[in-house]
Each structure stands twice: as structure tokens, then as C-alpha cells.
Structure 1
């Protein structure tokens, strides 16, 4: 899996600096980042110890972030890093501050969809970053459904659609990676406990949204056959008739070049759609986020940690074209 190294802030800064001066999108009718920054005073809130930050990147299909990255970068978290960097660089001075909360939005390419909602397909992937629910020695803090509600509300704001229906919703669990090998007994016990304690409260809320028609198809990422079975079984045991089993499973083929036959067979049997993706498992490490914030919000860089990243894409249904693509990042006091 290609991922942005977090071991060296210098390497991160090098990429960011290069991106800032090479972006072809003219945010301020100037000649790039240096022209925008020249003579610009830092905002008065630069040293405020914020307890919450929400950042809406621009539409990466318009800003050039997607197009300027080469193939290997597109298969990592570099698109997100570049989009966050651009938003901080060009939109910080128009940020909205309320007490110890700050919202930073690239207003240049957000806004409502053109035409009727039925013309579009909205796909969302939520990377929950706040806890680690599975594996040996795992934390058992439940994934926050409040953050899920906040993420959907943020998306409604970004797209200008109240009570939005999400055609596809993918939940990406913290540190979840695909492993085609079967789990041993202790691993099964640990994973099952993690699902019961940490994931099920959030899955219950997603199931409610799915049954209410707010989500068209509900899925997960990087699950093996065993793990899909466990999630469905636990959901049925605890939630009963309200349970919804996974309908989509995303797998990164950089981790597994050929999908295991047992997974393919199980997916066909259960009508689970198998999709591939190129997202990094740890899409926004705390160290990387701090490096991004440091030049702009140095105090917040030390106090905030990313809670979730919401990645969304809007397709024109009858043409299969992506018209909007962006990210929403939420960070809270560490």
C-alpha cells in the first residue's frame, strides 16, 4: 500500500511546498502560492488553541488537485494532503471562528448541485480515525455515531442538500487492513469483541439510515470473508430485525492482487458487491495533520487530532462522470 510517510516531517513539508507552488488553479488571480502569501498578514486567530476544526476542501475535479497528481500519488493519501494544503493556503483568512471552534472552507468550488438530485449518484467513504477497535490489545471505545451525524450534516452543507440520500456509504475502520489468511481462534475472539464493543453502536445507526432510505447501499472496507461473517452475525444477534449486513466490501488490490476464492463465493452468495480502491489505511495520521497545520495554526497543530475524514464523489448518473469530489476533515482536542 502506498502511503505518505509520517516518519519525517521534512519529507511531508517538501511535498507540500512543491504542491503549493505548482498548482495550476488560480485561486486569487495571482501567480501561485508565493503571490498569495506575499504581504499577507497572518489571521488574528492563528495562535488560538481551538478545540474543534472542520475543514472543507474544494472540489478537486475543479481545483486541479486530482489532475496534477501522478498515478502512484492518486493511489495514496496524497490527493487529500494536497487538497488540505490548498485549502489552508488560500482559504484560512475567510475561516469562520466561533469561540474555540474554527471552520475553514474552500468556497470557490463548493455549492449546490446543478439540476435535479436524481441526476446524480453520491458516494461517501468515512474514515473513522479516533480509535482502534480491532486486534490484540485494541481499545474498545465505541466509534462515535455523533461524529457520523456530524459528517453527514457537514456533507449536506457542502452540497447544499438537506436530508441527503447517500447512494453508497463505505465505513473504513481505524487500522483495518485486508488479510487473505484466515484468523486463528484468538484473533477471531479479539475481532468479534472489537465489533461488539466498538463498531456495533455506529453500525446500528447506519442500519437505521439504510432502512429509512437515507443510504442506498451500506458497506465496509478491507474485510475478509471471516470478518464479513462476524459483522453480519453479531449485528443479527444484537440488533435482530433492525440489522443490516454489509452490502459492499472495498479491497485494496495493492494488498491482495487476486481476491481469495472463498471471499468471492461468499460475496456472490450474500449479494455483496466487491470493489477495489487505492486509499491509504491511515489516510491522515496525526503527525501529518500537525505538519499541515503548523505554518498556519501553530497552537492548534499541537492540540488537535483528526477524528474523521469524509471522502465524497458525485457522479452524473447517465454519463458516469465525476462532477464533484472532495474531503471533509474533522479534528478535535487530542
Structure 2
């Protein structure tokens, strides 16, 4: 078993000509783009760099291991071609369900640092954060109830509720104060949720990104609240659970279309090729760099991090497989 190994998964630039299979219909969920992007990038590197006849270690030729971190595939940053001021760079950070909120400080730093290195920049224009268990329902705005995920964890030490969200936001405020993030945004916050959140933070969000299922019918209460608090409302089609545990094992496992890095299941015998142990997706970050004067997306991609084996903090989670 490979204990305490982190796997950094990368799509590279999904806009590049070599990855056209990753383009998605405009109304499809973003996890389709993420999963297809990861699979295509793994396949591309496997094809070009893997020449081993031993299936148990073929992945080592197209991945890189640094200490306890395995980069899948090897990181080859695709820095932007024009000066930084030519771009609008937007980032969305997904904290995943079942992962203790106490890990978010470290996860935030890992994710943002990867994006900055990948694009060869020192700052981003907007970062939007997606908290687990937070979903927007246009019919419920103004009469909000706690989601099932939040209810299940409300009484635990790892509450996914307001306190945990505010603590996580403080990390982003530090990036804002250092000029690394110009603006901060939220995802799926109703007017009630915003009303509870805003008094608790120093740097207010300038964006609220919502997933409106009924063709952009935004409640008047939210429209007025956003207007009064200088918050821009944007829409998205991202999934709540963008990288499920089972999907992660399928991507990295020995099956058709898999990367042949993990064994078929956590308890596979030692004779079976692949790394053994539970796999636990931790976070996902999406980045988009748009050339301002042309409105062209030059670079778009995803990073994800998964933990193989026991977690470093020893805290339980609900997403192991």
C-alpha cells in the first residue's frame, strides 16, 4: 500500500488542438469536461511517453513523483503567450463533499499555487469558491432550509456550515490582501445565505454564481439584495460533486480508459499491478484565461488532488473508495 501519497491530476489546456475530444456541449455539466479532460490527457501522455512492457510501473514514465506527491501526468506548464495585463483570469475552487473543513487552508494554497505556476502568472482576477452542500433553488430563495449535507454535519466538529465557510474565506482574504486575487466570489448563495455571510467577513464577495435550472429565472429577492450590496450575479452549470470517489478510481484504475495507476480495488492482492489503498478526492480547481480585447479563451483547464492511503491529518472523511 502507498500510504499518504497525494496524486495531483491535470487536464492541461483543454482548448489545445490535441484535446478536441474534451469540448462539451454548452449545457452539459462541467464534470463531463473535467473527467473527459483528465482521461484524454492521461491517454495522450501514455501514448507518447510509455514504452514499458511491465504494466505495474508503466505509469512512472509519464508521471513524476516528488516526495509523497505523484503528478499525473508530469507537469508541463503552458504559460500565457501575451503580457499578464492582456488577460482576465478566473478561477473556481471546489471544496468536495465529505472532506473535513480543517483541510481547506492547506488545500486552498496547494490549488492556487498550481494554477499560478501553470499559467506563469502571479495573480488572478477572480476566484469563486464552491462550498459542499450549498445548492441554489430559485423556488426556495428567501425561505432557505439547510441541505442534507449541511444537516448531517451541523453538529460535528467538521461543520460545513457558516463557521467553516467563514474560516475558509479568511484564507482567501489573505490572498486578496497580498494582491494575488483581485476579487472574490461565491457559488450558489441565496439572499438569506448572503445576509448571514457578509457581516462575518472582511472582504465581501463581488460575484455570486448560481445554477438556475429554469432558464435563468432569478428570484427578485436575490436580484435586489445583490444590487444593494454591489454583487454581480452570474450563472454556471457546474456539478455539486464534481469529482466523485468512484469516478476517480475509474480514471486511475486498470479498466478500459483507465490510467493503470491504481489497482482495481483498495484491497487487491500484492500480485496485482497498481498502487493499493483507498483513494479520496480532496479538491478541484478550474481556471480560465481569456484574452480581453478578443474575448478568446486561450487557456482553460483543471487540477484535482486525491489522497491515496491514510490522510495526513488522521481525520475521518466520507469519500474513501
TM-score per shorter chain, which class? 0.7 to 0.9
Is the Cα contact below 8 Å between 1:77 and 1:279 reproduced in 2?
Answer: yes
Q: Does structure 1 residue 207 correspond to structure 2 residue 173? A: yes
Is the Cα contact below 8 Å between 1:305 and 1:331 reproduced in 2?
Answer: yes
Residue of structure 1 equivalent to 2:55: none
Which whole-Å CA distance do the structure 2 matches of 1:315 and 1:233 have between them?
33
Is the Cα contact below 8 Å between 1:124 and 1:170 reproduced in 2?
Answer: yes
Q: Deviations over 1:22-57 (max 9, x none)?
A: xxxxxxxxxxxxxxxxxxxxxxxxx85662100221
Which whole-Å CA distance do the structure 1 matches of 2:291 and 2:198 have between them?
32
Which whole-Å CA distance do the structure 2 matches of 1:112 and 1:179 have between them?
38
Q: CA deviation at 1:195?
A: 3.9
Residue of structure 1 equivalent to 2:134: 176
Is the Cα contact below 8 Å between 2:97 and 2:241 reproduced in 1?
Answer: no
SS in 1 for 2:136: coil
Within the candidate set 8, 12, 37, 1:83 is matched to 37
Q: Deviations over 1:168-207 (max 9, x none)?
A: 1000011321023157697499689744432222201111
Is the Cα contact below 8 Å between 2:136 and 2:212 reproduced in 1?
Answer: no
Distance change in 2, residues 1:233/1:53 (3 Å):
same
Q: CA deviation at 1:111?
A: 1.8
Is the Cα contact below 8 Å between 2:226 and 2:232 reproduced in 1?
Answer: yes
Give the RMSD, CA atoms, in angstroms.
2.8
Residue of structure 2 equivalent to 1:159: 119
Q: Deviations over 1:89-129 (max 9, x none)?
A: 23243210234421123667x42111311111110000111
Q: CA deviation at 1:88?
A: 2.1
Q: Does structure 1 residue 142 correspond to structure 2 residue 102? A: yes
Residue of structure 2 equivalent to 1:98: 66
Structure number with the higher helix fraction is: 1
Unaligned 5+ segments in structure 2 are 46-58, 255-259, 264-274, 309-319
Q: CA deviation at 1:332?
A: 1.4
Q: Does structure 1 residue 113 correspond to structure 2 residue 83? A: no
Residue of structure 1 equivalent to 2:228: 269
Q: Does structure 1 residue 233 correspond to structure 2 residue 199? A: yes
Unaligned 5+ segments in structure 1 are 1-46, 133-139, 236-242
Within the candidate set 172, 185, 204, 1:245 is matched to 204
Distance change in 2, residues 1:141/1:148 (3 Å):
closer
Which whole-Å CA distance do the structure 1 matches of 2:43 and 2:203 have between them?
42
Within the candidate set 278, 281, 287, 2:240 is matched to 281
Q: Deviations over 1:306-326 (max 9, x none)?
A: 111110000101111100000
Is the Cα contact below 8 Å between 2:285 and 2:302 reproduced in 1?
Answer: yes
Is the Cα contact below 8 Å between 2:92 and 2:285 reproduced in 1?
Answer: yes
Distance change in 2, residues 1:198/1:211 (3 Å):
same
Which whole-Å CA distance do the structure 2 matches of 1:278 and 1:245 have between them?
23
Residue of structure 2 equivalent to 1:329: 304
Residue of structure 2 equivalent to 1:6: none
Which whole-Å CA distance do the structure 2 matches of 1:249 and 1:114 have between them?
30
Which whole-Å CA distance do the structure 2 matches of 1:304 and 1:100 have between them?
14
Q: Deviations over 1:199-248 (max 9, x none)?
A: 2222011112223322121011011000011111233xxxxxxx112211
Residue of structure 1 equivalent to 2:189: 223
Which whole-Å CA distance do the structure 2 matches of 1:328 and 1:301 have between them?
22
Q: CA deviation at 1:257?
A: 3.8
Q: CA deviation at 1:87?
A: 2.1
